[in-house]
A and B are shown apart, each in its own frame.
Chain A
Amino acid sequence: GNSVTQMEGPVTLSEEAFLTINCTYTATGYPSLFWYVQYPGEGLQLLLKATKADDKGSNKGFEATYRKETTSFHLEKGSVQVSDSAVYFCALVNTGGFKTIFGAGTRLFVKA
C-alpha cells in the first residue's frame, strides 16, 4: 500500500542553520507529494507541493524536489528562523486518489 516515511525528530537547530528533513514514499502510479506544517496551537496547513517527477515545490524559503528515482521528497531550507519551529508532515495523494497519506511528522525546534 501507499506509505510515507520521514526522519524522526525532534530536530534542534540554531537560527540561520541549514535544514533538511528526509521523506521517502511508497506508492503505485504517480502520486502528488506535499509538505504540511503545523505551528503550535494551529491546524495543519499546506507548505508546498509537487505533482510530478522533478518538480520543485517552494514556499517561505522552503524547497523540496520530487525525486522519482529515489522515491524521495526531502524538505530543505537554507537558513531557519525561530518562527519555523513547528511539526512538519510529508504526505502523498496517489494518482486519481482521494485520500492523503501522512508521515509521522518531524518536530523542529529552532533556537535563537
Chain B
Amino acid sequence: DTGVSQNPRHKITKRGQNVTFRCDPISEHNRLYWYRQTLGQGPEFLTYFQNEAQLEKSRLLSDRFSAERPKGSFSTLEIQRTEQGDSAMYLCASRRDRSLTGELFFGEGSRLTVL
C-alpha cells in the first residue's frame, strides 16, 4: 500500500494556459474522487469515478475542466484556458467500492497558481 500519489505537487502557470494533474490511487481502490480546496475552506467535491466510469460531476466543474480515468487505474484532471480563480489545491482521494467505513484516502494534493 503506497498511498495515493499526486503530481505535480506544485504548478505555476500563466492565465490561459492548460494544465494537467495526475492521480495514482491505492491499487485496489476502484472509487476515485477529485476535490478542490481553497484557502480557509474545506475540500469541495468536483467529480467521482467508479472504475473507469465518471458517475458524477459537480456544478463547480465548468466545461474547461475534464477528468478521465482510463482503464480504471490512474486519473487525470485537465484545466483548459486557466483563470486566476482556478488557483487552488486539487486533491485526489480513493476508496474501496464496498468500504464499511466510507473512509477516503487522500493524496497530498497538487497546488495550482495561475498568474
Q: A15 vs B43: C-alpha distance in the bound complex, in angstroms?
A: 29
A77 adjacent to chain B (CB < 8 Å): no
Number of A-B contacts (CB under 8 A): 58
Contact, CB under 8 Å: A103 / B31: no
Contact, CB under 8 Å: B106 / A99: no
Contact, CB under 8 Å: A43 / B109: yes
Contact, CB under 8 Å: A45 / B106: yes
A32 adjacent to chain B (CB < 8 Å): yes
- Total A residues in contact with B, Cβ cutoff 8 Å: 23
Contacts of B102 in A (CB 8 A): 32, 34, 49, 93, 100
Least distance between B30 CB and chain A CB atoms (Å): 11
Least distance between A15 CB and chain B CB atoms (Å): 25
Contacts of A103 in B (CB 8 A): 42
Chain B residues within 8 Å of A, Cβ to Cβ: 4, 31, 33, 35, 40-45, 48, 50, 55-56, 91, 93, 101-109
